[in-house]
Structure 1
Amino acid sequence: MPAKDGGYFSRLVRKLTTDVEELDADDLSEESEKSGARRACDCRSGEEVTVLGRLRSVELCPSADVATLEAELFDGTDGVTLVWLGRRRIPGIEPGRTVKARGRMADRDGRKVLYNPYYELQTTS
């Protein structure tokens, strides 16, 4: 009896013919949904949200006023920039790490941003 998602053969063909980055994005999106987090593509400016994803990049942005640590989180559907004001480094915040972040979504130059989000470093299973 075939499964509702197309059966074993359909899943196998998809895994063999789909781009690795697309499969990874699908896995991230599924993991995010299972954790109870919102999909980044569904988040709007002004909403209190929880997102879960993998950090693609982390960089220190020094300025004359205040240094900021910025990290790009990707959940398989969209990217969210996490910005910690006044921080130069946060242990565990590094590319490739899975993070759950919570805060009020903002918009900066058309990009989704969480300023000084609460965060949890996720363990790999």
Structure 2
Amino acid sequence: MAVHSTGETRQRNPLARLGERLTKSVTQLEADELKEDSVRMGCTPMNELVDREVATVSGTVRAITLRPRVTVPALVVDLYDGSRTINLVWLGRRTIGGVEPGRYLRATGRVTYTRGVPTIFNPAYEIVPPRAH
């Protein structure tokens, strides 16, 4: 819906929406859907995260990496919400059941920027069922 200066709301022209969909790439359409899902779930868009603030983010798991260390392993999940990627890092974990590429997650924790990339260490998380997002 569009809000006009008179305060009235109108439905967007369906042909205009179709035109937008026809001119965008599949990647951009998927990113737009992820952004809409994130906002609908009440999450902070990843391109708006503030350093050292607690945030709830959601998105699709793009990659999972195990960083083996001599003392403590670290499981790193790249989560994408259509605007940016964030690293979710679980220290001392090698796997997390159900977390795999393509899954949709919601995670909460304190954001820190590591080498310019937003990161949450040991976040609280939930796997969101496909129909819920």
TM range (shorter): over 0.9
> What is the alpha-carbon distance in structure 1 between the residues aligned to residue 82 and residue 69 of structure 2?
31
Task: Report deviation, 1:124.
Answer: 0.5
Task: State, as a whole percentage, how many aligned pairs show the same letter.
Answer: 36
Q: Distance in 1 between matches of 2:11 and 2:97?
A: 40
Aligned position for 1:73:
79
Unaligned runs of 5+ in 2: 3-8
Give the structure with higher Rg (CA): 2
State the number of aligned residues: 124
2:72 counterpart of 1:59? no
Give me the TM-score of the superposition, normalised by structure 1.
0.94
**Equivalent residues in 2 for 1:14-53, closer than 5 Å:** 14-53=20-59
CA-to-aligned-CA distance 1:13-69 (integer Å, 9 cap, x gap): 111221011111110000000101111111111000000100100111111221110
1:118 to 121, 124, 130: 124
Q: Which runs of 5+ in 1 are unaligned?
A: none
Q: Distance in 1 between matches of 2:38 and 2:59?
A: 7
SS in 2 for 1:21: helix
CA distance in 2, matches of 1:85, 1:102: 16
TM-superposition CA deviations, 1:51-105 (whole Å, max 9, x none): 0100100111111221110000011111110000000000011100000000000
Secondary structure of 1:76's partner? Answer: coil
